[in-house]
């Protein structure tokens, strides 16, 4: 089955700096890659996603890049703010597994004011 | 529009006891999921249901059973709870294949 690895597990940045979280996947059939943000004690919520026919997608301060050849995708947050502090999860969806999503182990991001 | 609602939010069980986690969604979604979240392990899929009347095993199904009661409701049952099942459980739903997952608020289960 699909295996998603996520790095780093923890990340601290100064407010205003950029943060980058990287994920790799193993199954070449994966074609959809969402990113979820989970604030402390809350439910995960989708912040951005990318499909395999696109190399990059941006939404204000958040961007995601995808390299299908290398099987890795990354989340980029620019001009970080304290409210960006949360756990971020990447996920991959193989097209041949029905509705299954495979998640990375999460990155705990702390933005220091 | 409540989204995905799961109950209970907290539960403490003794080893060997049974319980059922309830989940309901009001978004007319076809697919529903049960995940467990453990520190350092991310979200792991227990079972999912692609549509009413169907259920499939995920990555970690052992010790659990599920029922897709109707399109709205998807329950998770622990027949004989074990300390290894101490976790936070999330129910989720999605409307279309490769669509956004909408999560419930989570249920924190402790098995003593």
CB B34 within 8 A of CB B74: yes
Backbone dihedral angles phi then psi of residue A83, each to the nearest 5 degrees: -75, -5
Q: Tell me, what's the pLDDT at B82?
A: 97
* A7 HSE (CA, 13 A, CB side): 4
- The DSSP secondary-structure symbol of A82 reads G
Which residues touch B46 (CB under 8 Å, ≥6 apart)? B34, B35, B36, B58, B59, B60, B61, B64, B66, B76, B89
Q: How confident is the model at residue B95 (pLDDT cuts 50, 70, 90)?
A: confident
Report chain A's mean pLDDT, rounded to a whole number. 94
Model pLDDT for residues A75-92, shown as the tens digit of each residue:
999 999 999 999 999 999
Give the chain A residue nearest B94 (alpha carbons): A99
Containing A37, the helix (H) or strand (E) segment is strand A30-38
Instruction: Name the closest residue on chain A to residue B37, using Cα atoms.
Output: A105
Asked whether residue B42 carries a pLDDT value surpassing 70, the answer given is: yes
Name the CA radius of gyration of chain B, rounded: 13
Percent above pLDDT 70 for chain B = 97
Chain B CB contacts of A51 under 8 Å are 98
CA–CA min distance B75, chain A (Å): 18
């Amino acid at each position: 089955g699909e295996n998603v690895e996520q790095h780093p597990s923890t990340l601290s940045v100064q407010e205003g700096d950029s943060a980058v979280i990287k994920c790799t996947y193993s199954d070449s059939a994966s074609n959809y890659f969402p990113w979820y943000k989970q604030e402390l004690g809350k439910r995960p919520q989708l912040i951005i996603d990318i499909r395999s026919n696109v190399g990059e997608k941006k939404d204000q301060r958040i961007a995601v890049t995808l390299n299908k050849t290398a099987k890795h995708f990354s989340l980029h947050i620019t001009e970080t703010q304290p409210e960006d502090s949360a756990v971020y999860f990447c996920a991959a969806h193989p097209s041949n597994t029905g509705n299954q999503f495979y998640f990375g182990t999460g990155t705990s991001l702390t933005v220091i004011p | 529009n409540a989204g995905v609602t799961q109950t209970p939010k907290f539960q403490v069980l003794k080893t060997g006891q049974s319980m059922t986690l309830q989940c309901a969604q009001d978004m007319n979604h076809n697919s529903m999921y049960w995940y467990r979240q453990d520190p350092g392990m991310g979200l792991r899929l227990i079972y999912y249901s692609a549509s009413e009347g169907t259920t499939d095993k995920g990555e970690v199904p052992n010790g659990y059973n599920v029922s897709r009661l109707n399109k709205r409701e998807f329950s998770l049952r622990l027949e004989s709870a074990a300390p290894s099942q101490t976790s936070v459980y999330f129910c989720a739903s999605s409307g279309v294949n490769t669509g956004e997952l909408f999560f419930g608020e989570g249920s924190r289960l402790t098995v003593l």
